[in-house]
Amino acid sequence: MLIASTALLLYAAGYAVLCAVSPFGPCRKCAGTGLRELRKRAKVCRRCHGQRRRLRLGRRVLNSGRRTHAAGTRPNPTTEKKGTPWH
């Protein structure tokens, strides 16, 4: 049990590092070619629009969290603490 949970944590940490270092991964639908073969005709992949790379799932989750955090915080947090009016 300890080995399995350690392996899972190491895998998650490795995936987080991978998402931080390389946020884009090869498209899974076209296997990184940018083209799909449909009825013996090559068409541009609809998933990646021919760019051959897509944003990794972990990076997408991180970006979503950042957007949510930014939307929920004040745009210009005041750093100076204003005291009471009589101070």
Interacting residue ranges for Zn ion, rule: CB under 5 A: 27, 29-30, 45, 47-48
Q: Which is nearer to Zn ion, 29 or 43 (CB)?
A: 29
Q: How far is the CB of 7 from Zn ion (least distance, A)?
A: 31
Q: Which is nearer to Zn ion, 46 or 67 (CB)?
A: 46
Q: How far is the CB of 2 from Zn ion (least distance, A)?
A: 40
Q: Which is nearer to Zn ion, 19 or 45 (CB)?
A: 45
- The CA distance from 33 to 7, in Å, is 32
- 26-32's contacts with Cβ under 8 Å and 24+ in sequence apart are 26/52, 26/53, 26/54, 27/51, 27/52, 27/53, 27/54, 28/54
Q: How far is the CB of 33 from Zn ion (least distance, A)?
A: 7
Cβ–Cβ < 8 Å for 52, 27: yes
